[in-house]
Amino acid sequence: MDPNRFHTIDVIAYSVMPTHLRLVVIAPNELPDHQETARRFKASHPGKQLPVQGSEQYERLRGRMRDISDFMKSLQMCFAFWHNRRRPEKRCGAL
């Protein structure tokens, strides 16, 4: 999953260092509207059904879209998958 497709978090600045990454991000105050929620969900979860509007699952999904912790989890997971795929020893798991 590409964090940029799902999350409404904006990365303002970043710095990649040998041992860690620093980000300056902005999370919007408002939850995304229904059209934005549907667009982002379909872009990041092709073939899956969007939860029913107004349901508890739907509201949790909207909340996750602007959750910085969830964004960082997705970003780190994507980086680990990318890193593991490009290694000749075919490693797996977290870094």
CA distance 65 to 74: 11
How far, in Å, CA of 31 to CA of 18, rounded?
Answer: 35
Q: What is the pLDDT of residue 48?
A: 94
pTM (two decimals)? 0.81
Three-state secondary structure of 1-43: CCHHHHCCCEEEEEEECCCCEEEEEECCCCCCCHHHHHHHHHH
Q: Pick from 61, 81, 80, 59: which is nearest to 70 by CA?
A: 61
Task: Quote the CA–CA distance of 7 and 2 in Å, as a whole number.
Answer: 9
Domain range summary for the chain, segments of one domain joined by +: 3-86
Q: What is the pLDDT of residue 19?
A: 84
In tens digits, the chain (95 residues) has pLDDT values of 566 789 999 999 999 888 888 999 999 999 999 999 999 999 999 999 999 999 999 999 999 999 999 999 999 888 888 888 887 787 777 76
pLDDT the model gives residue 90? 75
The pLDDT score that the predictor gives to residue 1 is 55
Q: Return the pLDDT at 42.
A: 94
